[in-house]
Structure 1
């Protein structure tokens, strides 16, 4: 463009010739904003998209998210359909925050617990995501950095949040297993809200107001120093996917209605989790592990009765009864 041939080139040559160095430490340039069809905006064509109209209709954070979601190194497009994609990403972010804040309201500042394995893995995944996104932001690849964040929250919602719901909803408020996942949820909320604050400024400040009396812009992203290897996270995701595929077959054939009615025989070389831990991860009634060189999943209908409180299935209770865990919780409430 004329900017590259003109001001950037002229200032560079002048500085190198007179000072033997560039006049700037780094230089980032961007393209033009086009309409949704890649056509230059013009009043005569009636395809002008005004920022103030977007802010009035959707809010400033949607416009900011769009700005951070496009590759500005070239020409970028904007339209109602493109903004709808950003709105969907924003909805995923906001829903994740809503779920977290709704489940950590009773977590005290001095709460402490030994993290369960799946919770420790979630911390590892969070730390890896923040490191990747930070590296991308440092290289001005804001669109890829925000994609990392949205992908992380999507995976958390469909996997981790789904797993810990039973602990959050049916365990004693001050139980170690509930506090364990609450600590992780709070870490996710803190780290993500800090990271996205330059982009979703108003949303981050709103979220942070439930976590601290100070502004999110006065906080810093902390190093989490995870203890576990991320490979385990990927392996358990793959295992859960295989289990879900087999469960779907049972559901399609009207053998069961949901995963909590299923017994899983798992042949695997993954010895990190025990059977009870995998039962929670797979959201099934029973898991039987047999060590093997290759992963193999066999699923069957579990012959048991549903607990009236947690809605999980057990083979030692009768109709109208609650499971042992729920019985203890009810006695202690």
Structure 2
């Protein structure tokens, strides 16, 4: 009791605070998302995400080198193809944009871990994550036929050099299907990072600008999770681990730290948190208006994800955060 116990004693100096700090953020905790587009010397800033760009493969390679030099161990690649169709051809074709980017990055920076986002929404003409029933404008994706497309996509990404496959479409059975496909193609050592608890969130808006993947009709609520559910997240995670997921992800992160915590307590696999586009855009907008201290807010937020139980953090702030952490 006071005055014997004075917790402020351990807050007196910066060095002392560092010595007793329970949670420490480092660049090794971060994964940097990149958006690949066709062309050369392309660097088109995303309107709703200041500082984030759609990049041609040559520029992706430059970014990959910069990321590696900052001590960030990994990138995740998203692709925007030249053309889109109902078969999501750009997702699984050997000459797809993610496949080209993955091969180029592995050739230039072989030690950088390349994650391939394995989804179809950027590649379909309707913007949904798989096959649709003919004439159905509700956005109700046909689950099992979509799995066949995801198999082809995962194999082509692994063949192109991706170190980790990250299925994000929230199809039932997608982890088992992809695991069996990878194993059958000789990629039994390629891990799967499953978007196991991906919510139908309003925080994804700016990403749809970046990935040009806004649904042309309907929404994704028939396959992404309801924001009011937490027990369902545990069920999804348990199923994905049973099907062969090596790591699991919670998306978004900021409004779902309780989910990160519950999953971390319930599992023994690495847990990733995706600090999504809307979370990034809000911080950027406030910082550009001088309403907040961007550096302090970003580092505090990323640390909170790790404190909640995240082992890995996907964030558009990764490069800036790495710079700040190395001061």
Task: Identify which of structures 1 and 2 has the higher relative contact order when contacts are C-alpha pairs closer than 8 Å and 6+ apart.
Answer: 2
Using structure 2 for the length normalisation, give the TM-score.
0.25
TM-score by length of 1: 0.24
Which structure has the larger Rg? 1
More strand by percentage? 2
